[in-house]
Structures are given as C-alpha cells and as structure tokens.
Amino acid sequence: MNKDIATPIKTRQILEKYGFSFKKSLGQNFLIDTNILRNIVHHAQVTEESGAIEIGPGIGALTEQLAKLCKKVVAFEIDQRLLPILADTLSDYDNVKVIHEDILKADVAGVIEEEFAGKVRDLHVVANLPYYVTTPIIMKLLEEKLPLSGITVMLQKEVADRMAAKPGSKEYGSLSIAVQYYTEASVAMIVPKTVFVPQPNVDSAVIHLAIREKPAVDVIDESFFFMVTRASFAQRRKTILNNLSSQLPEGKSKKEIILKSLEESGIEPGRRGETLSLEEFAVLSNHLLPHFR
C-alpha cells in the first residue's frame, strides 16, 4: 500500500480501515495533497545521498515522498496507534525506520550516530510539525547543535513569519534572533488550510532553515546573549534601557552599568529592542557580561 498516501480518498480509506480518530492534543492534521508534499521535499534540497529525519509521520504521507528520494528516513512518532498503520502504508520501503518516541525526549544525537553516521552525505529534518510544540522542537534541534544541513518544516504561518523576521518589523523578536543565530531562515511557501484533514484553525507555512557552519555572530556566553535578547523584548513598547533595567538580575549600580554598556556598544538607550540587529545584540551582551557573571 505505497502509492501516494496523500490523496483525500486514499487517506480516508486508510483511516477507515484502522478506525483511526484524530487526537487534537497531538496536533494531528494530516496532509492530503501530494503536490504540497513534493514541494516540501523540493525545498528541503534532499538527494539520493541524503538522510532525512521526520517528526510525526502520521500515516506516512510525507515519509513516503522522502523514502522515494532519500537514502534513508528515520521518523519519530509519539502516537502508538499509528505504528501498525505505518508498518502497512510504508511496507514497500526498506529505507524507513519508525521510532516510537516523543521527539522532545528522544536522544536525537544518539540516533543520528547510530543510523546515519558515515552512511549519508548530508542530513535534513523534514516534517509537518505538530503545531502545539513547533517552537520547542525547533529550538531543541538547534540548541543540541546536531549535524544537520537544513530543517524544512510546516508550521503555523505566524510562527514562521516570526522566525524569519528582520529588525524593524513587528514580527521581529527573541525567537527571530534565536533561530537566525543558528540558521538562515526563509519562508518557502504559504499553505492553505484545505490541504489538511482535519483543517487546522490557523494558516500554515513551510519554513526552510539552512544551518550555518558557525553562529551568525560572535558571543562570549550564548545563554547570557539569549537572556539579554529575551529581556530586551519583555515589553515591546519599552526602550532597551528600561527593559534591561527591569529584567536583568539585580546588582549594584545596575542602571549605570547598562547605560555604560549601551554607550560602549554604540546603541542609543532610547531605542527599542525590535530595532537592534543580531550583531548589535551580540556586541551589547559581550559588554554587559562581565558585570553579570
């Protein structure tokens, strides 16, 4: 049972055969449009020498398209009810392995070492993500510094816009900085609700994150850098000086130290966080660091 799972008729047949009912709490919105799936795989830039990691294969619609193109696919699925279905729908592919695990708890680095090391030329994460955990999943993949070339995933359009946002836009914030620190982010396509069953409540988009060989900017202490960026956006209407003064840990002459660091970094204290580039945040956090260590 392996030819294009992602048609409305085929999907309905599979769901009926197994009496499968969707769990909203697991973000189960399955794709029923083969063209969209082929487009996702196209944007992922995989080849027959590539490995792919999928998160949430569902009934195997995207897994199938990846298996046709890539050397090997490993898919993490949390819902045990889907395992017998996947064993059936993907039975013709011997290059797919399904792991029954919550991706947020999985030892992804260990799985990569075991399944892909020395066997593929490059490794990509490709997925139609469960929307209730998109940001934690992407941040886990980035923070663990896995040996990935790219991450190409479907997620809420609003979150994709924030991840790819540039300084000065209303979507730009600490999530844009966290993602762009590790990757070059671009929104690859906007996807209508009608290609899912059941249809999600929000608009969707596919984001492509090309992993940088080294982070976009030089920071002395990554966790302090991210703390400074989060603090700078605590209240969007406040100035950088006021946000940092209220958010950074208490200490002697805190406001004076922040003012001095802003001056050393060439940043006007009256600016708002949303106007600062990654480079400016890096310089600022490096100047602040010795005072808050």
Environment class of residue 240 by beta-carbon count within 10 Å: exposed (0-12), middle (13-18) or buried (19+)?
buried
Q: Are 180 and 216 in contact (CB under 8 A)?
A: yes
Least distance between ligand SAM and beta carbon 58 (Å): 3
Nearer to ligand SAM, 108 or 283 (CB): 108
Nearer to ligand SAM, 78 or 206 (CB): 78
Residue whose CB is nearest to ligand SAM in the complex, by number: 56
d(C-alpha 114, C-alpha 132), whole Å: 29
Least distance between ligand SAM and beta carbon 27 (Å): 5
d(C-alpha 86, C-alpha 122), whole Å: 25
Q: At what angle do helices 157-164 and 134-143 cross, to 10 degrees?
A: 40
Nearer to ligand SAM, 147 or 198 (CB): 198
Residues that bind ligand SAM (CB under 6 A): 26-31, 55-58, 61-62, 76-79, 82, 102-104, 128, 130, 133
Nearer to ligand SAM, 200 or 215 (CB): 200
Least distance between ligand SAM and beta carbon 47 (Å): 21
Least distance between ligand SAM and beta carbon 97 (Å): 14
Residue 13's identity, in one-letter code, is Q
Nearer to ligand SAM, 58 or 173 (CB): 58
Q: Are 135 and 209 in contact (CB under 8 A)?
A: no
Least distance between ligand SAM and beta carbon 26 (Å): 4
Q: Are 179 and 159 in contact (CB under 8 A)?
A: no
| 38: Cβ contacts below 8 Å, ≥ 6 apart | 65
